[in-house]
Amino acid sequence: MRCAVMAVSSHGAVLSRKVRDALDGDVDIYVNEKYMASAPDGAKPYRRLSEYVGEVFHRYDAVIFLSAAGIAVRMIAPFLVSKLEDPAVLVMDERGRHVISLLSGHIGGANLLARQLADSLGGEAVITTATDVEGMLAPDVAASGLALRPWPKAQIESCNSALLRGEAIHYSVDPSLPQAGFYLSHLKEYGLSVSMGKETGLPSDGYRVFITKEPGECREGLLYLIPRRLIAGIGCRQGTSEELIRKALESACSRIGRALPDIDLLASAWVKEREPGLLALAKSLGREIRFFGKDVLQEKIDAYVLRESSFVKRQIGVGNVCEAAALACVKAGRFALPKTKYEKVTVAMIWEK
Q: Final residue of a domain: which of 227, 255, 287? A: 227
Residue 261 corresponds to which amino acid? P
pLDDT at 87: 94
Q: What is the 3-state secondary structure (H, E, C) of 207-226?
A: EEEEECCCCCCCCCCEEEEE
Residue 313 corresponds to which amino acid? K
State whether 181 and 118 are in the same domain.
no
* Total residues found in the chain within this entry: 353
Q: Domain range holding 60?
A: 2-128
Q: Which of these, 230, 235, 240, 232, lies nearest to 319 by C-alpha position?
A: 235
State whether 302 and 198 are in the same domain.
no
State whether 219 and 243 are in the same domain.
no
Residue 207 within any structural domain of the chain: yes
Please enumerate in sequence order all residues whose Cβ is within 8 A of that of 218, keeping only pairs 6 or more positions apart, or say none: 152
State whether 153 and 112 are in the same domain.
no
- Between the CA of residue 285 and those of 92, 178, 227, 245, what are the distances in Å? 44, 14, 19, 12
Residue 134 within any structural domain of the chain: no
CB 264 within 8 A of CB 289: no
Tens of pLDDT, residue by residue over 132-160, are 999 999 999 999 999 999 999 999 999 99
Tens of pLDDT, residue by residue over 87-134, are 999 999 999 999 999 999 999 999 999 999 999 999 999 999 999 999
Q: How much is the average pLDDT of 284-290?
A: 97
The neighbour count for residue 314, using CB atoms within 10 Å, is 9
Residue 36 within any structural domain of the chain: yes
Helix, coil or strand: residue 108: coil
Residue 13 within any structural domain of the chain: yes
Helix, coil or strand: residue 95: coil
State whether 72 and 87 are in the same domain.
yes
pLDDT at 299: 95
State whether 69 and 110 are in the same domain.
yes
Residue 165 corresponds to which amino acid? R
Q: Report the CATH number at residue 320.
A: 3.30.420.180
Q: Final residue of a domain: which of 227, 255, 286? A: 227
State whether 124 and 21 are in the same domain.
yes
pLDDT at 1: 84
State whether 21 and 58 are in the same domain.
yes
State whether 13 and 105 are in the same domain.
yes
The single-letter DSSP state of residue 174 is -
Tens of pLDDT, residue by residue over 316-353, are 999 999 999 999 999 989 999 999 999 999 999 999 98
Please name the helix (run of DSSP H) or strand (run of DSSP E) that holds residue 342, with its range, or none.
strand 333-342
Residue 133 within any structural domain of the chain: no
Q: Report the CATH number at residue 41.
A: 3.40.50.11220
Residue 124 within any structural domain of the chain: yes
Please enumerate in sequence order all residues whose Cβ is within 8 A of that of 189, keeping only pairs 6 or more positions apart, or say none: none
> How does DSSP assign 16-36, residue by residue?
HHHHHHH-SSEEEEEEEGGGG
Tens of pLDDT, residue by residue over 212-264, are 998 888 888 999 999 999 999 999 999 999 999 999 999 999 999 999 999 99
As a whole number of angstroms, the distance between CA 158 and CA 188 comes to 22
As a whole number of angstroms, the distance between CA 121 and CA 336 comes to 24
Residue 12 within any structural domain of the chain: yes
State whether 299 and 327 are in the same domain.
yes
As a whole number of angstroms, the distance between CA 300 and CA 280 comes to 27
Rg (CA), the chain: 21
Instruction: Report the domain count for the chain.
Output: 3
Q: In terms of C-beta distances under 8 Å and separation of at least 24 residues, what long-range contacts does 308-313 make, across chains too? A: 312/235
Q: Final residue of a domain: which of 227, 249, 278? A: 227
Backbone region of residue 296 per phi and psi (left: phi > 0; alpha: psi in -120 to 50; beta: other values): alpha
Q: How confident is the model at residue 78 (pLDDT cuts 50, 70, 90)?
A: very high
pLDDT at 64: 97
Residue 44 within any structural domain of the chain: yes
> How does DSSP assign 252-315, residue by residue?
HHHHTT--GGG--EEEEEGGGTT-HHHHHHHHHHT--EEEE-HHHHHHHHHHHT----HHHHHH
CB 183 within 8 A of CB 139: no
CA 21, 24, 28, 31 torsion-angle sign: negative
